[in-house]
Amino acid sequence: MIYHVVSLAAWNARPDQPYAPASLPEDGFVHCSPDEATTLAVVNAFYRDVSEPLHVLVLDEARLTARVEFEAAAPAPPPGVGEDVRFPHVFGPLDRDALVRILEIRWDGDGRAVGLAETQGS
């Protein structure tokens, strides 16, 4: 399983099409994380100031039609993530049938992501 941080508004915008984040054309791939701990480190490093609620897609990479490669973070991994951690990069849109579940990010009183929880209905 791999993890992708997303707003539900973005995920639900075009439910009849594979999901392609705005960063895909520029970056050439969809940024994902290999596990929950790494996902939380990414959220804390890059998404703490996002005003809309964020969720995490848990995807079965075997069900994605786009190529998935595990690569080193560039230029460096976020704080708390080891240099040896490889990030799954999906070189194309995310197939909706690869979705296993959607998790909600749990935040502490200081605005730090501290865990992932099942959402209602998942």
pLDDT tens track, the chain, 122 positions: 999 999 999 999 999 999 999 999 999 999 999 999 999 999 999 998 888 889 999 999 999 999 999 999 988 999 999 999 999 999 999 999 999 999 999 999 999 999 999 986 54
CA atoms within 13 Å, Cβ hemisphere of 42: 24
Alpha-carbon distance values, 113 to 6, 46, 65 (Å):
14, 11, 30
Fold designation for 2-111: ADP-ribosylation fold (3.20.170)
CA angle, 68 as apex, 10 and 33 as ends, to 5°? 60
pTM: 0.93
Q: Please name the amino acid found at residue 60.
A: D
Residue 45, SS3 per DSSP = helix
CB 2, CB 61: distance < 8 Å: yes
Distance separating alpha carbons of residues 68 and 1, to the nearest angstrom: 12
